[in-house]
Chains A and B, each alone.
Chain A
Amino acid sequence: MGELRLMKGNEALAEAVIRAGVDGYFGYPITPQSEVIEYLTAEKPEERTGMVVLQAESEIASINMLYGGGGTGKKVMTSSSSPGISLMQEGLSYIASAEIPIVLVNVVRGGPGLGDIQPAQSDYFQSTKGGGHGDYRLIVLGPSSVQEMSDFVPLAFDLAFKYRNPVMILSDGAIGQMMEKVELFEPIPRLTDKEIIERYPWATNGKPKGGERRILTSLDLDPAKMERHNWHLQKKYKEIEENEVRFEAINTEDADYVIVAYGSSARISQKAIQLLREKGIKTGLLRLITLWPFPYKQIEALVGQGIKGFLSVEMSAGQMVEDVRLAVNGKVKVEHFGRYGGMVHSPEEVMEALEQKIIGG
């Protein structure tokens, strides 16, 4: 068993970054995730593992540092919160097109605009539908515990390098700021420069002797070639959709109703299904782990199993519910419930919403 600690989500993430053998963290402070860069600078990772930590001049610079650093085959990452992630969208589009493996973390806060610093899940559209310009996707992981804030760091890097695609850990202010027991994984050593050069022949870390130069770009002025590049990307996204859907089904086997939720909403909903079951209302929870790819097929299967209604619970005005509706395809009732703008729903509110909107409505 690994070392047990009581940590904030943001701290567990930062410790995991060091343990995951990450080569570089580039970030800009923003509440509620500044603990990440504070923890990293305090821990002297340059001494622990040789990792580079740099406070950039902006989120725009941070994401472009990832573009540069990731392009050389190193494991690089950043973290921010909603307004900062908006600033990164241009860079993310370039990174997705140039197929650079990077990891970024969004500890979502209330919006729109400057919003507030309380937990929210209102960046779902931006995260799962691309976010910047052009046809592209991020792989999006939604941790719902401090443990997953830690565990998803190495997972995110595995996926990023497997598919040469940016991966986002979509957290929220509640998971970032709460403390839980976390079992830390054993440190994974950083790759040596030699290993990186051998493993990633696409990486621009100096033209191989006697070989061809490598170019990382998102530009092709020939539209026919650009369309071919898009086909290639779409094929990759299809493969990710086939292979990487992750979720946890809790008490869905005998359920009449299912709540679909992720992150802290999934935790709150888990308590809600407990309260509902105490009342004799058989409710299950589909907790999403990957938000993209989205478990369309699994939800379709639940419809086939006889689920009478779905409640999508998220701290937004109703974003993920659109995907749930797509999956259910009009066959049974789908409603959204959530508090937003930094307000968090209680388990009782979720329970009442299911009773009123799905059963009673």
Chain B
Amino acid sequence: MTEEIIIAGFGGQGVLSMGKILAYSGIMQNREVSWMPSYGPEMRGGTANVTVIVSDERISSPILRSYDTAIILNQQSMDKFEQTVKTYGTLLYDPNGITKHPTRADINIYRVEGAKKAAEMGNTKIFNMIVLGAYLKMKPIVKIENVIKGLRKSLPERYHKLIPLNEDAIRMGMNSVEIVQEVK
């Protein structure tokens, strides 16, 4: 099993930390992981992205041009990364702020109202955990208990009281993800 993921959105949406929690969860599940933040001119314009790879094998390139899954959280990232999803791959997005929805017919497309649900739950900071939940529902590459372990490892102790809220957010994402199209 190797899952190559790009997570892309605005800086401040928790893109990098979502990737980090996913990578930590992978370690908790005895997987090899890599987390590579955006590099090169991609860093300009307030966008942030991170490539996360979770695998059973030693990971070769941490830098990729095509992905099994793209998690897209703003329009710029949609413009840039929709075409990088491998055929039969997965695109998960939050429609909030998206003006041009994905059009590819050869990939699985899912959506999650992460921003809206986070607002409903009264904490915009858990937005990324809702999206993570949605992703794990469609691609259960790590178990929820390992995500919680990963959170425990990656969050400073003073934030551990927030772990139950994050868990709720993950479940919210799992329950609210919608299928736009499935090809395989």
Q: Give the number of chain A interface residues (Cβ < 8 Å).
A: 27
Given A178-B37, A179-B34, check contact A4 B27 (CB 8 Å).
yes
Q: Is the CB of B36 within 8 A of A178?
A: yes
- Distance in Å from the Cβ of B89 to the closest Cβ of chain A? 15
CA distance A248 to B20 in the complex (A): 29
Question: Which residues on the A side are within 8 Å of B24 (C-beta)?
Answer: 6
CA distance A107 to B153 in the complex (A): 27
CA distance A268 to B62 in the complex (A): 7
Question: Which residues on the A side are within 8 Å of B40 (C-beta)?
Answer: 118, 342-344
Q: Is the interface of B mostly helix, strand, loop or mixed?
A: mixed
B118 within 8 A of A: no
Question: Which residues on the B side are within 8 Å of A347 (C-beta)?
Answer: 60-61, 63-65
Q: Is the CB of B63 within 8 A of A174?
A: yes
- Distance in Å from the Cβ of B150 to the closest Cβ of chain A? 8
- Distance in Å from the Cβ of A31 to the closest Cβ of chain B? 12
- Distance in Å from the Cβ of A258 to the closest Cβ of chain B? 16
Question: Which residues on the A side are within 8 Å of B153 (C-beta)?
Answer: 5-6
CA distance A308 to B165 in the complex (A): 59
B115 within 8 A of A: no
Question: Which residues on the A side are within 8 Å of B37 (C-beta)?
Answer: 177-178
CA distance A115 to B36 in the complex (A): 21
- Distance in Å from the Cβ of A186 to the closest Cβ of chain B? 19
Q: For residues 243 through 276 of chain A, which have their beta carbon under 8 Å from a beta carbon of chain B? A: 264, 267-272, 274
In the complex, which residue of chain B has the Cβ closest to the Cβ of A339? Answer: B40
B168 within 8 A of A: no
Q: Is the CB of B20 within 8 A of A6?
A: yes
A348 within 8 A of B: yes
CA distance A13 to B85 in the complex (A): 34
A173 within 8 A of B: yes
As a 0/1 sequence over residues 54 to 66 of chain B, the CB contacts with chain A under 8 angstroms (1 = contact) are 0000011111111
As a 0/1 sequence over residues 106 to 126 of chain B, the CB contacts with chain A under 8 angstroms (1 = contact) are 000000000000000000000
Q: For residues 58 through 95 of chain A, which have their beta carbon under 8 Å from a beta carbon of chain B? A: none
By Cβ-Cβ distance, the 6 closest A-B pairs, closest first, are A271-B61, A270-B60, A179-B35, A346-B65, A271-B60, A268-B61
Sample 25 A-B pairs with CB under 8 A, ordered by A number.
Answer: A4-B27, A5-B153, A6-B20, A6-B23, A6-B24, A6-B33, A6-B154, A118-B40, A174-B39, A174-B63, A180-B34, A180-B59, A180-B62, A181-B23, A181-B32, A181-B33, A264-B63, A267-B61, A267-B62, A268-B61, A269-B61, A271-B64, A274-B60, A344-B40, A346-B61
